[in-house]
Amino acid sequence: MGFSLLGTLMALILLAPSLLMIKFPPENVPSGLRDAGLIYTLLERAGQLGCIGILAISKDNFQHVKFGVIAAFIVLFIVVYYGLWVRYIVKGQQFKLLWDPLVFIPIPMAVLPVCAFGLAAIWGKSIWLSIAVVCLAIGHLANSWHSYQYTRNK
């Protein structure tokens, strides 16, 4: 254990776009929208904190990794994720754009970062990061799917 610059950078790169919501809040948010439930929200927050914290202190897991197929997929997921954020901003920050499918990927702005975190857990061989990713996946995907379904029905 110890501070991991690579882990910290991965966490920041994956979570930084969410800060765009401060500068570019979504428009046309349906009234009455709620999360999928308290359990999912708690799992999502625990997963977010776990992913950030574990990546930041994962020196042993990431100090000898080599760039390969897994790392290439992490980069690909991040690039597509950033592209979706550009789409969101360019098309006027419409709430529905946060959930719109991308080709065959439902709720891609939720799926892609979870997949990138999951691949980081595999790449760094971290069981603790894997546990945090499972919590994040359950909570974030449930809340995002709930919002997506809500916007489809409005």
Report pLDDT digits (tens) over 16-65.
Answer: 998 888 999 999 988 888 889 999 999 999 999 999 999 999 989 888 88
Asked if residue 19 lies in contact with residue 48, where contact means CB atoms within 8 angstroms, the answer is no
Other C-beta atoms closer than 10 Å to the C-beta of 37 total 13
d(CA 75, CA 54): 19
| Alpha-carbon span 104 to 139, nearest angstrom | 21
pTM attached to this predicted model: 0.92
